[in-house]
Structures are given as structure tokens and as C-alpha cells.
């Protein structure tokens, strides 16, 4: 009612409309009932009708569009980020330089150290892992899919 009085004092409301709005404000049950009374009026509004600045949604990141010339491999999901590392390089490093070199390249240090400690699963683990990287790709240490 105080905010309506300020609008009346500024000359934005005639006396009849002011009395009508004050009566509606007295009968209001929810904030929505009060919001209607201030819909056509500029500021000041009652503080509980003004949305707080922290209630604004956070800015959304821009969507990622995959390159148009991507012909091989599984399709990139909308919004999925691609790594700056190549699955071909990672696969070849795994096959020809065993002991987790390809996994060190991709940033998957846990798997790389496990392969280093076990001598690449006696060479078999590195060979299979290299073939898997070449065929289906994988993800780098940050969870981004490896490039083709």
C-alpha cells in the first residue's frame, strides 16, 4: 500500500484508481495478486515483487557444432566437445610404443601408469588397447572424445 501511495503522490494514479488498488492490495492473498496491481506501473515496486539479482539463471555455454567433414567414427552428440588429441596417434603410440605411451598422450594417467607397472599386460593389454583406440576412439583425460 505504501508503494501505491508513492505512485499516487507522483500523479501516476487518479484517486479512484488508487482507492481501488489499495482495496485490492488489502484483499490480496498471494504475491501474484499484488503483482497484477503493479504490472502497468514503473518502479518503485514493493521489494518482495522485484526478483533478486541472484535468481537470474546462469549464462548457458554456447553449443558446439562438430565439423562438417567428419565422415568416420560415431556421430558427435550435440554439445559434445572434441579433444585436441587424435585417436589415430594415440592408437599407434599404444601399439608401437607399449607401456601406456598412448594413454600418457591422451592424459589418462591412471591407465597409463597401470600399463607401465604391468609392462602393458605383457604387451597384450597395450596391443588390444591400441586397436580399440584406433577402431572406436576413446576419451582424453578431461572426458572429451578423441578426434578422428
Cα atoms in the Cβ-side hemisphere of radius 13 Å centred on 44: 12
Q: What are phi and psi of 43, to 5 degrees?
A: -60, 150
pLDDT tens across 131-147, in order? 888 888 888 887 788 88
Q: Note the pLDDT of residue 55.
A: 57
Q: Phi and psi at residue 13, in whole multiples of 5°?
A: -125, 130
Per the CB < 8 A criterion, the answer to whether 116 and 128 are in contact is: no
- Say whether pTM exceeds 0.75: no
Domain ranges of the chain: 1-49, 87-136
Cα dist from 121 to 9, 28, 59, 117, whole Å? 84, 74, 46, 9
Amino acid at each position: 500500500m505504501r508503494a501505491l501511495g508513492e505512485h499516487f503522490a507522483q500523479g501516476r494514479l487518479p484517486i479512484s484508481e488508487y482507492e481501488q488498488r489499495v482495496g485490492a492490495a488489502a484483499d490480496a492473498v498471494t504475491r501474484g495478486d499484488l503483482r497484477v496491481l503493479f504490472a502497468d506501473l514503473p518502479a518503485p515496486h514493493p521489494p518482495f515483487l522485484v526478483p533478486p539479482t541472484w535468481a537470474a539463471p546462469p549464462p548457458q555455454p554456447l553449443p558446439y557444432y562438430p565439423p562438417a567433414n567428419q565422415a568416420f567414427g560415431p556421430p558427435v552428440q550435440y554439445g559434445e566437445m572434441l579433444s585436441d588429441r587424435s585417436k589415430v596417434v594415440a592408437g599407434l603410440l599404444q601399439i608401437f610404443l607399449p607401456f601406456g605411451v598412448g594413454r600418457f598422450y591422451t592424459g589418462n594417467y591412471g591407465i597409463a601408469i597401470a600399463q607401465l607397472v604391468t609392462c602393458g599386460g605383457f604387451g597384450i593389454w597395450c596391443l588390444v588397447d591400441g586397436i580399440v583406440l584406433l577402431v572406436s576412439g576413446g576419451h582424453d583425460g578431461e572426458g572429451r572424445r578423441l578426434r578422428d
